[in-house]
Amino acid sequence: MNKKFSVPRGTADILPDDIASWQFIEATARNVLTVYGYKQIITPLFEETELFARSMGQTSDVVQKQMLTLQSQRQEGESAGLALRPEGTAAVVRSYIENSFDRKETLSKLFYIGPMFRGERPQKGRLRQFHQIGVEAIGPESASPYLDAEVIRLSVELLTQAGLQPADFKLKINTLGSNDDKTNFAKFLREHLQPARSGLCEDCQDRFERNVFRVLDCKNKSCQALVAKLDLNHAYLSADSRKYFADVCLALDSLGIKYEKSLTLVRGLDYYTHTVFEISSSALGSQDALGAGGRYNNLVSQLGGPAVDAIGFALGVERILLALVDHPKPASRPLKVFIVTLDEASLRRGFQILHILRRHHIAGDMSYRLSSMKSQMRQADKSGAEFVMIIGEEEYKKGAVTLKQMSSGKQQELKAAESERDCRALIELLCQETGSQT
């Protein structure tokens, strides 16, 4: 027997029934992003593996465990291996530097929409190929608490415009401070966790050495109990960092954004400095982050670019859709007309009329093979078309069609045959209904 193939684990087909929801989220996002002054950037689906290791951090879970690398035929002169992109930030920064954006503008506001790849153990809301709507604001003028507040507000607005209610999600924010502040914070954590180190889960034993911040967001109960006992505060921050964070909070308050300050919010990627944030939904189960982001003031220079600051975030499209499951679905655009023909001659004519209608942006379809009237009407019904256009022997002889409105059952005969001129009345009537131009 021939083998039947299945979609690879951790990936999913987006089937026609779900497309209206996808398109709605994408179109809404593009709209909101344009209103906020962001421009789209499209980068390749794969990059040099080293780009991700150097930006997200050698010690991050993504780089250590989840990179999907390509067994590519390395071309001469190409030193590094390639990996499917696990996120968008590194690639956007690579492009920012490569294309000298800093010489063209003082603040580059960029967005991307597309698939990302992480070799994770799949579970609800955790896929190996998933889609992000992401934003990066990079440039010498990006270090302003107002921009932090605007970026956070943008992430919230994208979710609400996609159909979520403010009560459906929670926004948490924190600050990690500058690189020096982060070093102090890591030292504080190691000192205070050291006595209880043996009580940490296996993963956190490892994290203690390589990325101690991650102990703070471990989901293991015993680690959480140890973290709860830590006297966390912002003592590790410099006066400047503390002031910056206070100003971000004030700017958020001025925009009426509801948030919770969370001292345990640290994020798993190395590049973050200062403001970090995460938006979660209780509807999602254990993978509850709808989106997350933060400032990354050193990444551009670390990757060989100018010393400019930056902030961004990414939302997970699949997780937004999961959170929207109980909300009404956007309707897909229905067909305007379905053509039913009853003999060879009218099939030929119907085929031509269909193409004339499509030239006028009237969405139409037909049965391409002759079958009984009953079976074609069933097809018309299933297609959801607003009108059925019937051409039988009688209509054919008269150079006419019978147009039936499915909802009311009202019928009328209209002149229509093989030329545009012959179809004038039909086009006008259907365009009136569509609101499009004849």
Q: Choose between 136 and 150: whose C-beta lies nearer to ligand HAM.
A: 136
Query: At a CB cut-off of 8 Å and minimum separation 6, what does 255 contact?
Result: 149, 153
Angle between helices 16-35 and 145-161 (to 10 degrees): 150
Is there binding between residue 182 and ligand HAM (CB under 6 A)? no
Please identify which residue in the block is written with the tokens 């996808």.
Answer: 22
- Which contiguous run of DSSP H or E holds residue 374? helix 373-383
User: Which of the stretches 27-35, 105-113, 177-185, 310-318 binds ligand HAM when contact is defined by CB under 6 A?
Assistant: 310-318
> Of 157, 181, 318, 395, which one interacts with ligand HAM (CB under 6 A)?
318
Question: Per-residue x/- marks for ligand HAM, 255-294, CB under 6 A?
Answer: ----------------------------------xxxxxx
Angle between helices 145-161 and 239-254 (to 10 degrees): 40
Q: Choose between 33 and 417: whose C-beta lies nearer to ligand HAM.
A: 33
Is there binding between residue 321 and ligand HAM (CB under 6 A)? no
Dist. CA 375–CA 357, nearest whole Å: 23
Contact between residue 361 and residue 413 where contact means Cβ atoms under 8 Å apart: no
To ligand HAM, the closest distance from the beta carbon of 84 in angstroms equals 12
Q: Choose between 297 and 383: whose C-beta lies nearer to ligand HAM.
A: 297
Q: Which 99-138 positions form the footprint of ligand HAM (CB under 6 A)?
A: 118, 120, 125-127, 130, 132, 134, 136
Both tokens assigned to 326? 């109980």
Please report, for residues 97, 109, 194, 301, 308, the alpha-carbon distance to residue 102 in angstroms, rounded to integers and kept in the order given. Answer: 8, 12, 44, 12, 8
Q: Choose between 293 and 364: whose C-beta lies nearer to ligand HAM.
A: 293
Count Cβ neighbours within 10 Å for each residue of 340-377 and write b for 16 or more, e otherwise.
bbbeeebbebbeebbebbeebebbbbbbeeeeeeeebb
To ligand HAM, the closest distance from the beta carbon of 115 in angstroms equals 10
To ligand HAM, the closest distance from the beta carbon of 224 in angstroms equals 19
User: Which of the stretches 19-27, 87-95, 139-147, 380-388 binds ligand HAM when contact is defined by CB under 6 A?
Assistant: 87-95
Residue with smallest beta-carbon separation from ligand HAM: 316
Contact between residue 81 and residue 69 where contact means Cβ atoms under 8 Å apart: yes
The site for ligand HAM (CB under 6 A) is made up of 87-89, 118, 120, 125-127, 130, 132, 134, 136, 289-294, 312-316, 318-319
